[in-house]
């Protein structure tokens, strides 16, 4: 399970508890998000080192973890790739170009207007934490690292789309990657109809039961 910005494997802990309860093994590594020299290739190295020689793997990527998870699925045999509220990459596209090439800026601005808000810049509470329980959000602070721009300027781009089954899980209430935007990317880039479940951008913290169920169904 690949975390998003900040690189905290802790992000997955509530979902991991639910998967452990049914006998699944979960590997959720911390990534070197605070290292400006580390980009997607380094994130892949760290994740694969944590994975070891395990086989019959489902690789899951959240948000910024999308490109890393997709590259893992391209380079190592896996059973399935699952992307949750993810930056779904396009072949030949650098993550630094994703924001413009995907149409994210326009989609987010439209969602902000639809919510009756003025765009006053990034608002972590409104965009990320609006449906995360306060105690969970507070507990997560110590696990996060400062996300550098390493993945956005290291020059990596996806060489080819992985030849594996893909599931895309979309948070219906995501304010950072609006749901209709994600649905379009799932169809255009991954060629799949996404699974839409309740929850905002941090699905694993806001709706761990729903996300665990979606992952189990994807197995």
* Whether residue 30 has pLDDT greater than 70: yes
Q: Residues 52-70: pLDDT tens digits?
A: 999 999 999 999 999 999 9
pLDDT band for position 122 (50/70/90)?
Answer: confident
| Distance between CA atoms of residues 200 and 7, nearest Å | 18
Q: What pLDDT is attached to residue 124? A: 87
What is the pLDDT at residue 141? 87
Task: Give the burial string for 121-131 (b: 16+ CB within 10 Å, else e).
Answer: eeeeeebbbeb
Closest by Cα among 125, 82, 113, 104 to 179: 104
Percent of the chain with pLDDT over 90: 88
| Average pLDDT of the chain to the nearest whole number | 95
Residues 198, 173 contacting (CB under 8 angstroms): yes
Q: What are residue 61's DSSP bridge partners?
A: 2, 83
Residue 119 has pLDDT above 80, yes or no: no
Q: Which residues are CB-neighbours of 178 under 8 A, at least 6 positions away?
A: 107, 108, 110, 111
Q: Which two tokens stand for residue 129?
A: 């934490």
Q: Mean pLDDT over residues 171-180, rounded?
A: 96
- Which pLDDT score, from 0 to 100, does residue 120 have? 61
Residue 121: the pLDDT is 72
**Domains of the chain, with CATH numbers?**
9-218 (3.40.50.1820)
User: For residue 177, which of 80, 68, 43, 86 has the smallest C-alpha distance?
Assistant: 86
Q: Please give the Cα distance from 128 to 141 (Å, whole number).
A: 13
For residues 112 and 216, the model is more confident at 216
Mode of pairing for the β-strands spanning 166-171 and 80-84 = parallel
> What residues have CB less than 8 Å from 166, skipping those under 6 apart?
80, 81, 82, 83, 190, 191, 192
Kindly tell me if the per-residue pLDDT of 113 is higher than 90: no
Residue 199, sorted as left (phi over 0), alpha (psi -120 to 50) or beta, turns out to be left
Q: What is the pLDDT of residues 131-174, one digit of tens each?
A: 999 999 999 989 989 999 999 999 999 999 999 999 999 999 99
């Amino acid at each position: 399970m690949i975390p998003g910005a900040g690189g905290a494997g802790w992000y997955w802990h509530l979902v991991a508890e639910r998967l452990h309860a049914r006998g699944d093994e979960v590997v959720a590594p911390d990534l070197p998000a605070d290292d400006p020299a580390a980009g997607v290739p380094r994130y892949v190295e760290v994740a694969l080192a944590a994975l070891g020689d395990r086989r019959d793997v489902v690789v899951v990527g959240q948000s910024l973890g999308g490109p890393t998870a997709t590259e893992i699925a391209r380079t190592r045999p896996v059973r399935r790739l699952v992307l949750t509220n993810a930056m779904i990459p396009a072949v030949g596209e650098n993550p630094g170009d994703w924001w413009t090439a995907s149409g994210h800026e326009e989609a987010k601005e439209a969602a902000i207007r639809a919510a009756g808000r003025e765009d006053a810049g990034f608002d972590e509470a409104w965009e990320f934490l609006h449906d995360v329980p306060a105690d969970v959000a507070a507990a997560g602070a110590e696990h996060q690292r400062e996300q550098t721009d390493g993945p956005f300027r290291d020059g990596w781009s996806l060489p080819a789309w992985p030849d594996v089954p893909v599931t895309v899980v979309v948070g219906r209430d995501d304010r950072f990657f609006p749901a209709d935007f994600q649905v379009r990317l799932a169809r255009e880039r991954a060629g799949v109809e996404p699974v839409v479940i309740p929850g905002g951008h941090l699905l694993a913290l806001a709706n761990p039961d729903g996300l665990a169920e979606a992952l189990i169904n994807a197995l």
